[in-house]
Amino acid sequence: MSTSQAIPISHTASKSGDRILRYTLAERVNHWIAGLSYVYCLITGLAFWSPYIYWMAALAGGGPTARFWHPWLGLVFTASTLWMYKLWRRDMAITDVDLAWKKAMPHYIRNEDDKLPPIGRFNYGQKIFFWVMFYGAILLLLSGIGLWFVESIPGSLRWLRYLAVAVHVGTALVTIGAFIIHVYMGTAMVRGGFTSIIRGEVSAAWAKMHHRLWYEQVTKEKSSQK
């Protein structure tokens, strides 16, 4: 599943050739289920993380309510991440092009995008973020089940209780780090990225600048369909 198989946007837009479908409706819905459920787990999880931010539980209806819903929204997040895997796993495979781009990443950080090799639908950073969140979701699910049903772990296996705590906390911190960068890049740094994950479209110039190989692929397919 990718936008290359998707129907082009609107007739007026395709006529002028300036808007390209980057994310299908299913991809956008999926992204926002994952995003919102993650943010819920983030807020409630941070409340349980430190007494100094326990007040965050109030944003989710108070401590007991936050505690009740945190694991359920965690399940929603895991399910949406698995769906995302189904949608994007092929697009997220790391290729030789990505490795060349990775070497040139300092240019990307310094906004010297003209010095970067052309890449496909997602860049190396996006792919790493995807895989961090995918494996993170699996680890958070497994350790979260241990925390959810901690009393079902017999005392003789109490090392499993400690393992669940350690894995859940460690994985959560890694995903939070990735999440901070993701939100910053998606909203502030890469202009046009945030609107693309809401309405699905980017301009041709945007596609050419950030994902030239993907741009060439989708425009070629579109013109060959005519």
Partner 1 sequence: MSQATLEIVKISGHAGPVPGEGVKRAEQVCKLIDTTTCIGCKACEVACLEWNGYTFSETTFNNSYQTMPETAWNYWNLIKFNEHEREDGTLMLLMRKDQCMHCADPGCLAACPADGAIVQYSNGIVDFQQQNCIGCGYCVSGCPFDIPKFNSQTKKMFKCTLCADRVTEGLEPACIKACPTGCLHFGTKDDMKDLAENRAQQLREHFGFEQAGVYDPPGVGGTGVIYVLHDATNPEAYGDLPKDPHIPWVVRLWKGPVKWLGNLAMMGGIIGVTLHYLRFGPKQVDDKKDSDKNGKGGRQ
Are 19 and 32 spatial neighbours (Cβ–Cβ below 8 Å)? no
Least Å distance between CB 206 and partner 1?
5
**Structure token digits, residue 219:** 């425009």
Candidate residues 41, 133, 140, 202; the one interacting with partner 1 per rule CB under 8 A: 202
Sign of the torsion angle spanned by Cα atoms 23, 25, 27, 32: positive
Q: Does 59 bind partner 1 (CB under 8 A)?
A: no
> Is residue 226 part of the contact set for partner 1 (CB under 8 A)?
no
Q: Does 12 bind partner 1 (CB under 8 A)?
A: no
For 192, left (φ over 0), alpha (ψ -120 to 50), or beta?
Answer: left
Which one, of 113, 110, 108, 148, lies nearest residue 128 by Cα? 108
CA 116 to chain CA mean position, Å: 23
Angle of CA points 98, 99, 103, to nearest 5°: 115
For the bound state, the minimum distance from the C-beta of residue 149 to partner 1, rounded and expressed in Å, comes to: 8
Q: Return the range that interacts with partner 1 (CB under 8 A); candidates 1-9, 28-36, 61-69, 131-139.
A: 61-69
What DSSP designation does 118 have?
A: P
The torsion region of residue 120 among left (phi > 0), alpha (psi -120 to 50) and beta comes to beta
204 belongs to the binding site for partner 1 (CB under 8 A): yes
For partner 1, the binding residues in 90-149 under the rule CB under 8 A are 109-111, 113, 147-148
Site size toward partner 1 (CB under 8 A) is: 54
Binding string to partner 1 for residues 13 to 32, with x set by CB under 8 A, is what? ---xxxx-------------
Please pick, from the candidates 7, 94, 173, 198, the single residue that binds partner 1 as defined by CB under 8 A. Answer: 173
Residue type, 1: M
Among 31-39, 64-72, 91-99, 128-136, the segment contacting partner 1 (CB under 8 A): 64-72
CB of 87 to partner 1, least distance (A): 25
Token digits of residue 80? 């949406």
166 part of the interface to partner 1, by CB under 8 A? yes
